[in-house]
C-alpha cells in the first residue's frame, strides 16, 4: 500500500501557483489529474509503439495491439467482468449510455414500456432516455428523493413494476455525494424482467466495483475521472445482451465481411468499436488502473471517507452555508455541493479561485436535480486521494475569506 502522504508528488500539475497562491485542486468530479506514471505510458506508446491495432503484421502494430488488448484485460479484472468480450472501449460514459439507448433501446423497447431513472441523474443519463422514449412511445419515470438526497426506496418499489423495461441509475451522485444501492435496484429490475444500467462515472474512480456482484446488465464509466486520459471510457455489458445488439457506428475494424449490399460484423467486443480507436488512451487507461491498483481501491475509498469526515463538519460550522446530500459524513462521498447565503455560486467559485482553490459552480449537468431542489446552481468541491487535510483547511479558509469579502468588500 502506498503512503498517502507521498502520493501527491506523482502529480506534477499540483505543484504550481494560481493567482499567487498554491493550487488546491478540488474539481475532481469533473476530471482528475494524471500521475507521472500514466503520462509516461502515453509518452512511451507514442515514442516507441505508435501504430494502428489489429490490422498489421509488422512489429509496431503487434506491440500496439498487444498493449491495447492487455488494457482491456486490466479493465475486465478491475470491474470483475466475466470476460474481455464484455468490455467495450468508448469515448466515455456519455458515449456508452448513448450506445445503449440507440442499440439496446431501439432493439428491445416498445410503445408503452417504462424507463426508470432518478432526479439526481447526470444529463448523460437523462437525455438518451428522453430521446429513446420519444422514438418508441415509451414513458420516462423519475424516482423521488428523500430530504437528504437518497432515492426513496418505498416509492421505488411502486414505480419499478411490470411495465418497467429499463432502470438506469448513477452508482454515485455527482452532486449529492450519495451511493445508491445498485444491487437492490438490480434485484427489483430483474424481478420485473427489466435491465439494470449503471452510470459508474463517479464510482469506478473511488471504490471497488464488481459488476457481477452488482448483477448490473450494463455499466459505463470514463477514464479521465480515474487518472486516465480524456476521450477514453468503457461500456461493460453482459454477453447475452451484447450478442443481440447491433452496432451504433459502422466502418473499419468492426466488420467481418463487406459485400456490395450487406456486411457482417466481427465477434465481441470488436463489432462495437468502429474505426481506429483511441489506442493511446486505452493503453494509458490500463496504466491508470495499474496505478490505482497499486494504491488499492479499498484504501482509496477509506482515505477519501476520512477526508469527508474531516471537512464536512468544518463546513457545517460556517455560518450561512448549506450543504446538499447526506449530512452524516459516513454516508457522503467526497463530492460536496454547497451554497453560501446571498452569494451566487459562480461568485463563490471565482473568489475561491483567487485564493488558489479550484471548485466548480453551476448546475453540474444536473438541471432536473437543481429544479427538484429549487436551486439555480451550487458550488461543488470534490476530493480525490491526492488531496489532503491541508487542502480541506485551505477550502475552509477560502470560504471564510469569501464571506468576509462579500460582507466588507475586501479579500
Per-residue pLDDT at 333: 98
Distance, CA of 364 to CA of 380 (rounded, Å) = 8
The size of the chain, in residues, is 411
pLDDT at 151 over 80: yes
Per-residue pLDDT at 409: 53
Local confidence band at 238 (pLDDT 50, 70, 90 cut-offs): very high
Distance, CA of 374 to CA of 147 (rounded, Å) = 13
Structural contact between residues 217 and 86, judged by C-beta atoms closer than 8 angstroms? no
How many other C-beta atoms lie within 10 A of the C-beta of residue 363? 17
Region 331-348: mean pLDDT is 97
pLDDT at 15 over 80: yes
**Active-site positions?**
365
pLDDT at 408 over 70: no
pLDDT at 411 over 80: no
The tens digit of pLDDT for each residue in 91-129 reads 999 999 999 999 999 999 999 999 999 999 999 999 999
The tens digit of pLDDT for each residue in 376-392 reads 999 999 999 999 999 99
Q: Which cell is 64 given?
A: 500496439
Local confidence band at 410 (pLDDT 50, 70, 90 cut-offs): very low
Average pLDDT value over all residues in the chain? 96
Amino acid at each position: 500500500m502506498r503512503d498517502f502522504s507521498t502520493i501527491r508528488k506523482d502529480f506534477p500539475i499540483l505543484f504550481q501557483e494560481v493567482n499567487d497562491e498554491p493550487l488546491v485542486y478540488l474539481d475532481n468530479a469533473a476530471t482528475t489529474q494524471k500521475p507521472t506514471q500514466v503520462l509516461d505510458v502515453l509518452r512511451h506508446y507514442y515514442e516507441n509503439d505508435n501504430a494502428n491495432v489489429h490490422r498489421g503484421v509488422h512489429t509496431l502494430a503487434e506491440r500496439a495491439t498487444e498493449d491495447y488488448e492487455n488494457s482491456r484485460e486490466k479493465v475486465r479484472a478491475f470491474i470483475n467482468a466475466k470476460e474481455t468480450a464484455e468490455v467495450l472501449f468508448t469515448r466515455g460514459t456519455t458515449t456508452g449510455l448513448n450506445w445503449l439507448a440507440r442499440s439496446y433501446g431501439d432493439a428491445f423497447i416498445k410503445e408503452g414500456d417504462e424507463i426508470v431513472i432518478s432526479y439526481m441523474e447526470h444529463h448523460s443519463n437523462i437525455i438518451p432516455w428522453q430521446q429513446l422514449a420519444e422514438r418508441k412511445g415509451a414513458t420516462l419515470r423519475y424516482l423521488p428523493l428523500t430530504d437528504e438526497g437518497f432515492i426513496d426506496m418505498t416509492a421505488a418499489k411502486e414505480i419499478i413494476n411490470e411495465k418497467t423495461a429499463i432502470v438506469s441509475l448513477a452508482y454515485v451522485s455527482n452532486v449529492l455525494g450519495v451511493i445508491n444501492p445498485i444491487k437492490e435496484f438490480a434485484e427489483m429490475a430483474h424481478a420485473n424482467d427489466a435491465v439494470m444500467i449503471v452510470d459508474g462515472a463517479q464510482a469506478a474512480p473511488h471504490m471497488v466495483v464488481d459488476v457481477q456482484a452488482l448483477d448490473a446488465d450494463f455499466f459505463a464509466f470514463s477514464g479521465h475521472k480515474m487518472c486516465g486520459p480524456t476521450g477514453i471510457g468503457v461500456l461493460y455489458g453482459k454477453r447475452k445482451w451484447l450478442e443481440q445488439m447491433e452496432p451504433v457506428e459502422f466502418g473499419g475494424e468492426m466488420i467481418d465481411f463487406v459485400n456490395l449490399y450487406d456486411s457482417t460484423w466481427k465477434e465481441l467486443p470488436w463489432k462495437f468499436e468502429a474505426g481506429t480507436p483511441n489506442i493511446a488512451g486505452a493503453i494509458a487507461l490500463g496504466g491508470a488502473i495499474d496505478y490505482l491498483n497499486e494504491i488499492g481501491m479499498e484504501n482509496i475509498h477509506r482515505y477519501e471517507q476520512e477526508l469527508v469526515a474531516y471537512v464536512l463538519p468544518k463546513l457545517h460550522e460556517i455560518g450561512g452555508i448549506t450543504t446538499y446530500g447526506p449530512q452524516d459524513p459516513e454516508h457522503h462521498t467526497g463530492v460536496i455541493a454547497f451554497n453560501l447565503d446571498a452569494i451566487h455560486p459562480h461568485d463563490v467559485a471565482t473568489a475561491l479561485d483567487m485564493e488558489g482553490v479550484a471548485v466548480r459552480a453551476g448546475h453540474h449537468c444536473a438541471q432536473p436535480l437543481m429544479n427538484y431542489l429549487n436551486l439555480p446552481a451550487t458550488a461543488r468541491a470534490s476530493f480525490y486521494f491526492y488531496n489532503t487535510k491541508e487542502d480541506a483547511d485551505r477550502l475552509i479558509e477560502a470560504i471564510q475569506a469569501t464571506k468576509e469579502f462579500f460582507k466588507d468588500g475586501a479579500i
